[in-house]
């Protein structure tokens, strides 16, 4: 039974000119997560990622530890542009500049609630795309192989929510608590995809300085 590990990217660069860059801490987190995946005995791993730099770099760090090369990218595993979404929601293209992470999360929760409650077409495309991507990946895995997908909090939350039949509040709650370099586990069986665990970050607990959410 193939196992797919959704690996959230390491800490990015919130509050800088380019969020889509792993911080030094983010690189450490990706390394620790790669070591955890190796400890779990991932079988002949196929390593893929979204097309965002923070996702690609997280995949590369984990793949190196597992002595494999990343297999490529799939933009359907990309995160939606949260900063642009909050800016648009607030009617100011620079609204998020200098915004504290906690305040940003409140506005993001409001945006996601509106999108899901109104069945926003862009949100539906994001959700459907992520689900199609993981379904196709599961079907393509060679016998005896598992997969690692370096992705983002929104993707992991929407996939977990879909597999659990969660409502809007459930998806938002999962997105809000997602830890950088956490691991969400999905298995592919005869009945389709099943969620085994969400946001597992036990590999971070030995050093609490590794615990971040953005």
Q: Does residue 152 sit within a domain?
A: yes
Q: Does residue 12 sit within a domain?
A: yes
The phi and psi torsions of 34 (rounded to 5 degrees) equal -60, -40
Angle (nearest 5°) at CA 131 between 122 and 81: 40
Q: Does residue 50 sit within a domain?
A: yes
How many structural domains is the chain composed of? 1
Q: Does residue 193 sit within a domain?
A: yes
Domain assignment of residue 51, given as a range: 3-79+125-202
Mean pLDDT by 10 residues, the chain (214 residues): 96 76 96 98 97 97 97 95 81 80 86 87 94 97 95 97 95 94 95 96 94 88
For the chain, the distance separating the N- and C-terminal CA atoms, rounded to the nearest angstrom, is 32
pLDDT tens digits for range 123-141: 999 999 999 999 999 999 9
pLDDT tens digits for range 143-175: 899 999 999 999 999 999 999 999 999 999 999
Q: Residue 174 belongs to a domain with what CATH number?
A: 3.40.50.1240
Look up the pTM and report it.
0.92
Kindly tell me the burial class for residue 153, based on how many C-beta atoms sit within 10 Å of its own C-beta (0-12, 13-18, 19 or more): buried
Q: Which residues of 80-93 are buried (b: 16+ CB within 10 A; e: fewer)?
A: bebbebbbeeeeee
Q: Does residue 144 sit within a domain?
A: yes
* Contact status, residue 182 vs residue 200, Cβ threshold 8 Å: yes
Q: Does residue 48 sit within a domain?
A: yes
């Amino acid at each position: 039974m193939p196992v797919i590990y959704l690996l959230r990217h390491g800490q990015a660069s919130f509050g800088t000119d380019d969020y889509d860059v792993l911080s030094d801490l983010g690189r450490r987190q990706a390394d620790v997560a790669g070591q955890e995946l190796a400890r779990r005995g991932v079988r002949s791993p196929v390593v893929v990622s979204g097309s965002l730099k923070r996702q690609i770099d997280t995949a590369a760090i984990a793949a190196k530890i597992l002595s494999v090369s990343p297999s490529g990218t799939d933009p359907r595993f990309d995160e939606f542009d949260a900063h642009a979404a909050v800016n648009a929601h607030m009617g100011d293209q620079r609204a998020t500049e200098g915004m504290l992470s906690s305040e940003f999360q409140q506005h993001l929760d409001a945006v996601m609630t509106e999108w899901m409650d109104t069945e926003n077409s862009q949100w539906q495309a994001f959700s459907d795309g992520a689900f199609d991507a993981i379904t196709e990946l599961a079907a393509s895995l060679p016998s005896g192989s598992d997969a690692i997908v370096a992705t983002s909090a929104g993707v992991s939350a929407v996939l977990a929510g879909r597999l659990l039949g969660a409502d809007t509040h459930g998806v938002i709650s999962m997105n809000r608590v997602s830890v950088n370099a956490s691991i969400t586990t999905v298995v592919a069986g005869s009945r389709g995809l099943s969620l085994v665990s969400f946001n597992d970050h036990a590999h971070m607990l030995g050093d609490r300085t590794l615990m971040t959410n953005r």
